[in-house]
Structure 1
Amino acid sequence: MPSMENSINVPSSYEALELTHIQISHHPFGAPAATPVVIVTLNRPEKHNAFTPQMADSLTLAFKMFHADPRVKTIVLTGAGKMFCAGMDLDIGFGDNQGRAADFRDIGGRVSLAMHRCHKPTIVALQGSAVGVGMTMTLPAVSRICHGKSKYGFVFARRGLTIESCASYFLPRLVGFSRAMHLITTGAVYPPLEKYFGDLFTEVLPEASQVLPRALELAQDMAENVSPLASSMSRALMWEGGDSPEAAHLLESRVFHHMIGQSDYKEGVNSFFEKRKPKFETDPREGSCPEYPWWPELNISRETRVSKDEKSKL
């Protein structure tokens, strides 16, 4: 979860924003200003929330705003209607295959990276079926709650495509290489059973109507009781930790040393002894340890073209 752009304008009310193919709501709905829990809804129910470039732009912007907004603590992502997401809108497609491959960036990957880089955790409420990018874009989330009677799948191979949205990084780390290989190679859709998905889904609920309320319950608990700074640093350690037990120990020790000097640690201890809810106020953008990010950040912007006249003559 490296740093994100700083030139993001944060609105007073997310409900006043007009973003294409998504809707952002406060929790509770109608609150005049941003709330600790916000709900992002994929909002193309007439198309089963099929993914579009405009939806990708809206989601990417939304996660960048949440990252920059200290009022937001937790995000819930869900869909309108009976399906969470039917994958890419194939009537629109993926472009015309023109231009350089080096300049192409898949739109699902932009969303996944924005979610992953956001300091605030995302809980996905899959109230209905999801396939393709509807599944891969949820992988950077901290939790996925789904409907037990719906079906889910990574169907790319059945459409003549490879996986995207950084799924080759996230999926095997979440479910193991064996299950990931089975899911992406069969391209089939399955009920949310452990034998197919392992523990990819944190909770599987019998009724679709239960999914969003449960996700909001979990999000509210996290917003009220979890330090955003500690949560963000811990997730970064999990995703970008050391490559050996010794390296993990050295890195965790440095980050832990930083954390025990922060006000959130003092507040966490005091609230425990005083038997009250904590009031964590440290903005992760300001309170992250000096070494953060401790891994090399790749530049994912398009490569700069150099004309013949601009090339070095050396």
Structure 2
Amino acid sequence: MKNCKARYLIFFQYLGSKYSGVMKTPQDRPVLGVQNYLENALQKLKLENEASLYISSRTDTGVHALCNSAHVDIQRTSGKPPFTGEVLTKALNLHLKPEPICVIGAYRVADTFHARYRALTRTYVYRLVTGVTHNQLPLMEKNLCWPLRDIELNVSAMQEAISMFLGTHNFSTFRALSSDTPFKSPVKTVLRAHLEPAQGSFAQNHFHRNLLFWELTFKSPSFLYRQVRRMTGAVVAIGQGRLSISQLQELLEVQDSLAYPQGTCAPPEGLFLTRVEYDDSDLLPDTQDG
């Protein structure tokens, strides 16, 4: 039987605290990327090819994902049909233990499919908690939110501020400079920008302190480098009275990354990539594993 490569779209989640980010790093580095562990798990499946992942959405050190995605080509040994999505998911999770990385689904896609360019939208949620320091957080929330000493924030001003990001804008001020900055258009369309109190979590309901969590949600086809963290930091600064609505408008209009106030960017720990959406027609019917 002729060897046959199959392309898969893989959805996966991870806690980003112990990784250099989602992207692959050289194996001799003391801290590796999530991609390193996923590709190591793939190689343990005894494939004919060296399986390389193509990640849809880059996340930094400390940033988490409830749902990131990637595509990969897999060629099994001679005579074996392609994995079903369910079998591939179970096999990868077996080899990912004990890392805080989990594959939540795998689907056959066309050989021309690309996880990054076929993605329709990406959704990020940033989690805040007020009235506590990092040392006062319950254990299950450490490195999973941004603790603020402030007991009260100007929520109405924050609501007005976050709504200013809706629509199509030049977000040059809200992107950090990186090696690919000159090659990416700063014009992005934000489809959703919303601030709301979070529903009661276990820690919120049972911890001895009065914890109040907030979630900032941003949805767009794509984002610039650190755009979500910079937008979040600006909204929080307005809630704390360190920045005004008029100053935020000026930041949008000046279109200069260097104009962004130093020390305002939100830390990575509270940021979660929660969803990467595709057209259902991109997913092919599963095959029977042999």
**TM-score for both structures, normalised by structure 2:** 0.26
Structure of higher RCO (CA pairs closer than 8 Å, 6+ residues apart): 2
Higher percent of residues as helix: 1
